Amino acid sequence: MTPVWEIAALSLKVSLWAVACSLPVGIACAWVLARCRFPGKILLDGLVHLPLVTPPVVVGYLLLIVLGRNGWLGRLFHDWFGVTFTFTWKGAAVAAAVMAFPLMVRAIRLGIESVDRRLEEAARTLGATPTRSLFTVTLPLAAPGLLTGALLAFARCLGEFGATITFVSNVPGQTRTLPLAIYTLLQTPEGETAAAWLAGVSLALAIVALAASELAARAVRRRLN
Amino acid sequence: MLKIDARKRLAEFEWQGRLEIRPGVTALFGQSGAGKTSLVKMVAGLLAPDEGEIAIGGTCVFASREGLNLPPERRPVGVVFQDGRLFPHLSVRGNLQYGRPRGSRSAPALEEVVELLELEALLGRRPMSLSGGEQQRVAIGRALLTAPDVLLLDEPLAGLDGERRGEVLGFLERLKRDSDRIIVYVTHRLEEVVRLADRLVLIDRGEVRSAGGLQDLLGRPELQAVIGQRTAGALLRCRIEQIDDGDGLSRLSCSGHTLFLPRLDLQAGSEGADIVLQVRAGDVSLSLEPPRRSSVLNVMSGTVERVVQEDGALANVVVNVGQTLWARVTRRSVRELGLSPGAEVYATIKAASLYSAD
């Protein structure tokens, strides 16, 4: 069995990449949902929330179809960028990112909606383009929401199981993150002690993430007031 | 020159107006909900008219026929909002430096604006820690630093108490002296109009009721209709000559007349400053000869400009005493004294009924 710290490190790597890569998309989605009005908005809203209500195994299966070696997007990534998702930690990161996406968007959207639009108007009358107003007024003021979104997503990624095991299987060192390792150990005779250790590590990581989120949110709020 | 010719369907009525605003201070005056803020938003580019044209200094910023609608950031317009709208995550300095100059004039240096509005001590502070008056000063400075051809002030004093209002008004007067730009000042308080404006535009339910020079409009009955009969009266711009003349009275000069009123609540040294007095029409009486051996201290000679009959026993007489004064008298007096346009009269006002409008 792989040492505990290696499994934990893999979990952290997968989750960090998942959050880092999905954050810009999440912010864009949240902004569109919070600030734009267009026909078909309800469809986008539904699509974003889909992973929340779909069984994770189904999400994993869909990812397999689209991003698998023979999937149209998977082949494209392979041929153009030399990136393979199947059975690799990158695939695990994608699965985690997709599953955590609704939580991330929800929190960021709330953050953006809490920003007074009249401040954005003021920015425009001072000569700021919509883009400049977004980056200098809206997003800094939505920082608490951004932070909450990122940390919620991170915690969700750490716990991702169903979509991951369906999409990228359970490969030691590549896709066997903490939840998958715990599951594997519980299937093995006399693996229970090790499983308990890993469960402890998972719990500790969750608590650290929660505390960090609270501290950061407080610091941001102090800055704003 | 700012030209507006626009139509816009709003929730309660339709905005419909044609206006030409010249450099100097023009007050947009009307009751709350008259459509003043909608006009400001249309000029700033925050609200698109349904139809029409808006041009600033010969450049079109909106034209429905050509499908032209410049976004706010490309219009040479600065706005000071009623609620300040300072960015809470930036320091005062950050707020001041946020803007980007547009328009035809060159931007003033930060130091210049900081000096004009006395912001030096505030630069490092956060907007949340400032008083309402300080916030509005920063908002004015922030707008000025974008060097706008048109400066829109949308009830900048509305959220402030009397003392703070006076403080910011002082800065606005200074700003007016130093500048030849188009300043549009939106308000529903007549005393601010009298102190700041050169011209007045009367707005009622989305329509321009009248527009013109300040003193001319102050004598028109439609203004009285908009501000309501109860508070109706005149506002006189005066200069303080003496705070206390020894009898507990302050002495003012007003278009060549001398006025007395109970000592103003001002520090010594305010002599020479401008002040606006509110004179209710009901406190003014008229006579054909100067009163002798009377308790009334204030007598102003003038000419009757207009007599506006009211329903019932009363009439309003507009008297030009150098400025516009309203007298509310009975119709019988109008008839017996022969008050008609051109008549020479003496208007008397008790010192006890005069008070500062600031």
Q: Which of A126, A131, A135, A137 to mutate to test the interface with B (most CBs of B within 10 A)?
A: A126
Beta partners for residue A204, in sequence order = none
Task: State which residue of chain A sits closest to B77, comparing Cα positions.
Answer: A125
Q: Which residues of A touch B77 (CB under 8 A)?
A: 125
Shortest alpha-carbon distance between residue A225 and chain B (Å): 7
**Which chain B residues have a beta carbon less than 8 Å from that of A127?**
73, 99-102, 146
ipTM (interface pTM): 0.82
Q: What is the pLDDT of residue B232?
A: 58
Per-residue pLDDT for B103 more than 60?
yes
Residue among A217, A96, A82, A195 at smallest CA distance from A149: A217
Segment A138-159 mean pLDDT: 92
Q: What three-state secondary structure class fits B91?
A: coil
* Residue in A with minimal Cα distance to B139: A122
User: Which residues fall within 8 angstroms of residue A194, CB to CB, at 6 or more apart?
Assistant: A1, A4, A185
B37, B89, B146: best mutation site toward chain A, by most A Cβ within 10 Å?
A: B89
Measure B86 CA to nearest chain A CA, in Å. Answer: 7
pLDDT tens for B147-165 read 999 999 999 988 887 777 8
What confidence category does residue A86 fall into, taking pLDDT thresholds of 50, 70 and 90?
A: confident
Where are the extended beta strands (E) located within B155-310? 182-187, 199-204, 207-213, 233-242, 249-254, 257-262, 274-280, 284-287, 298-309
**CATH number of the domain located at residue range(s) B2-227 in this protein:** 3.40.50.300
Helix (H, G, I), strand (E, B) or coil at A8: helix
Tens of pLDDT, residues A170-198: 999 899 999 999 999 999 988 889 999 99
Q: Does position A224 have pLDDT exceeding 80, yes or no?
A: no
Q: Residues of B with CB below 8 A from A225's CB?
A: 88, 126, 128
- Side-by-side strand order, sheet with B14-21: B68-69, B59-63, B51-56, B2-9, B14-21, B207-213, B199-204, B24-29, B182-187, B150-154, B77-80
Task: Write down the mean pLDDT value for chain A.
Answer: 92
Interface check A124 vs B, CB under 8 A: yes
Q: What is the DSSP string of A17-50?
A: HHHHHHHHHHHHHHHHHHH---TTHHHHHHHHHH
- Could you tell me which chain B residue has the CA closest to the CA of A116? B85
Contact B73 A136 (CB under 8 A): no
Please, is A197 exposed, middle or buried when counting C-beta atoms within 10 Å of its C-beta (0-12, 13-18, 19+)?
middle
pLDDT single digits (tens) A89-114 = 999 999 999 999 999 999 999 999 99
Percent of chain B with pLDDT over 70: 94
**In the predicted structure, residue B230 carries a pLDDT above the cut 60:** no
- Are the C-beta atoms of residues A2 and A173 closer than 8 Å to each other? yes
User: Residue B207 class from Cβ within 10 Å (0-12 exposed, 13-18 middle, 19+ buried)?
Assistant: middle
Average pLDDT of B40-45? Answer: 94
pLDDT at B227 > cutoff 80: no
What secondary structure letter does DSSP report for A15? H
Which residues of chain B approach chain A closer than 8 Å at the C-beta? 44-46, 71-73, 77-79, 81, 83, 85, 87-89, 98-102, 126, 128, 142-143, 146
3-state DSSP call for residue A194? helix
Residue pair B14/B206 in contact by the 8 Å Cβ criterion: yes
Instruction: Give me the half-sphere count of Cα atoms (radius 13 Å) on the Cβ side of residue A116.
Output: 11
DSSP A96-162: HHHHHHHHHHHHHHHHHHTS-HHHHHHHHHTT--HHHHIIIIIHHHTHHHHHHHHHHHHHHHHT--H
The Cα of B125 is separated from the nearest Cα of chain A by a number of Å equal to 11
Write the residue in B126, B128, B142 that is nearest to A126 by C-beta.
Answer: B142
Domain B233-356, CATH among 3.40.50.300, 2.40.50.100, 3.60.130.10, 3.40.50.2000? 2.40.50.100
Q: Which residue is closest to B83 within chain A, CA to CA? A: A118
Q: Which two tokens stand for residue B323?
A: 């400025």
Nearest-angstrom CA–CA distance, A117 and A136: 13
Integer Cα distance of A47 and B191 in angstroms:
57
What distance, in Å, lies between the first and last C-alpha atoms of chain B? Answer: 30
Q: CA-nearest residue of chain A to B101?
A: A127
Whole-angstrom Cα Rg for chain A = 20
- Strand B150-154 relative to strand B77-80, pairing: parallel
> Where along chain B do its domains lie?
2-227, 233-356
Q: Is B344 helix (H, G, I), strand (E, B) or coil?
A: strand
User: Does the beta-carbon distance from A121 to B143 stay under 8 Å?
Assistant: no
End-to-end CA distance of chain A: 50
**Nearest C-alpha of chain B: how many angstroms from A141?**
7
Closest-CA residue to B339 (of B282, B292, B287, B279): B287
CATH number for A4-224: choose from 1.10.3720.10, 1.10.132.10, 3.30.950.10, 3.20.20.150.
1.10.3720.10
Question: What is the H or E stretch that residue A58 is in?
Answer: helix A56-67
Angstrom distances, CA of residue B68 to CA of A121, B63, B77, B224 = 20, 5, 17, 39
Higher pLDDT, A121 or B32: A121
As a whole number, the mean pLDDT across chain B is: 87
Tokens 């209709």 sit at which residue?
A: B225
Residue A19 has pLDDT above 60, yes or no: yes
Question: Among candidates B320, B350, B314, B349, which has minimal Cα distance to B334?
Answer: B314
Sign of the CA dihedral B91, A141, B147, B213?
Answer: negative
Q: What is the pLDDT of residues B287-336, one digit of tens each?
A: 999 988 888 889 999 999 988 887 788 888 989 998 888 888 999 999 99
Question: What residue in B sits closest to A221 (Cα-Cα)?
Answer: B89
Interatomic CA distance for residues A176 and A183, integer angstroms:
10
Distance CA B284, CA B293 (A): 18
Closest CA to A158 of A87, A96, A67: A96
Token pair 């990228």 is found at: A168
Give the residue among A219, A225, A217, A222 at the shortest CA–CA distance from A107: A217
The CA–CA distances, whole Å, from A100 to A23, A26, A128, B92 equal: 11, 10, 33, 39
